Amino acid sequence: MRHLPGGLSVFLNICYRRTMTSKELDQLKKQIVDIISELQASDHYLEDVTQPIAPSVAIGRLTRMEAIGEKSVNEARHANVKQRLERLKNALQRMGNGSYGTCLRCNKEIPFGRLSAVPESLICIPCAEKKR
Ligand SMILES: [Zn+2]
């Protein structure tokens, strides 16, 4: 292809590209890294608050019940955080091997809008809707 003026080649990229630009990929990568560090902080916090409640702790019956209820809520949150961390780390790996952003079901490119909303997406919206 002949050399095109900068503005025009950007325009053509937007119209015809099949794959994300490296700028978009960088943006998503940064987003993923940020979410991972946030989630790691909650992971540590939730790790602490989901420790077994020592029976020796002198708390009344009701507060102990509350503590147990809160612990199970935190355990559920912890499981979610861990699962999302896994997915995000997976997404970084896929960025490394070039399979990131391709729908696992239909093999089409997942639109940037979906990826920037849910950067760990493995499938595109039409496939996600079919699944339901
Ligand atoms: Zn798909």
Q: Is 5 inside any structural domain?
A: no
Q: Is 13 inside any structural domain?
A: no
* Among candidate residues 23, 38, 27, 22, the one with its CA nearest the CA of residue 119: 27
Residue 28 has φ and ψ, to the nearest 5°, of -65, -35
Q: Is 39 inside any structural domain?
A: yes
Question: Rounded to the nearest whole angstrom, what is the distance from the C-alpha of residue 15 to the centroid of ligand 1?
Answer: 21
Q: Is 85 inside any structural domain?
A: yes
**pLDDT value at position 111?**
93
Residues with CB under 5 A from ligand 1 (ion): 103, 105-106, 124, 127
Q: Is 113 inside any structural domain?
A: no
Would you say residue 54 has pLDDT above 60?
yes
Residue 81 lies in domain: 19-98
Residues 44-62: what's their mean pLDDT?
78
Amino acid at 51: Q
The structure's pTM equals: 0.76
Q: Is 58 inside any structural domain?
A: yes
Question: Rounded to the nearest whole angstrom, what is the distance from the C-alpha of residue 112 to the centroid of ligand 1?
Answer: 13
Q: Is 131 inside any structural domain?
A: no
Question: Rounded to the nearest whole angstrom, what is the distance from the C-alpha of residue 103 to the centroid of ligand 1?
Answer: 5
- The number of distinct structural domains making up the chain is 1
**CA distances for 92 relative to 55, 67, 86, 109, angstroms:** 42, 37, 10, 17
Q: Is 126 inside any structural domain?
A: no
Question: Rounded to the nearest whole angstrom, what is the distance from the C-alpha of residue 117 to the centroid of ligand 1?
Answer: 16
Question: Rounded to the nearest whole angstrom, what is the distance from the C-alpha of residue 26 to the centroid of ligand 1?
Answer: 22
- What is the pLDDT confidence band of residue 66, given thresholds at 50, 70 and 90? confident
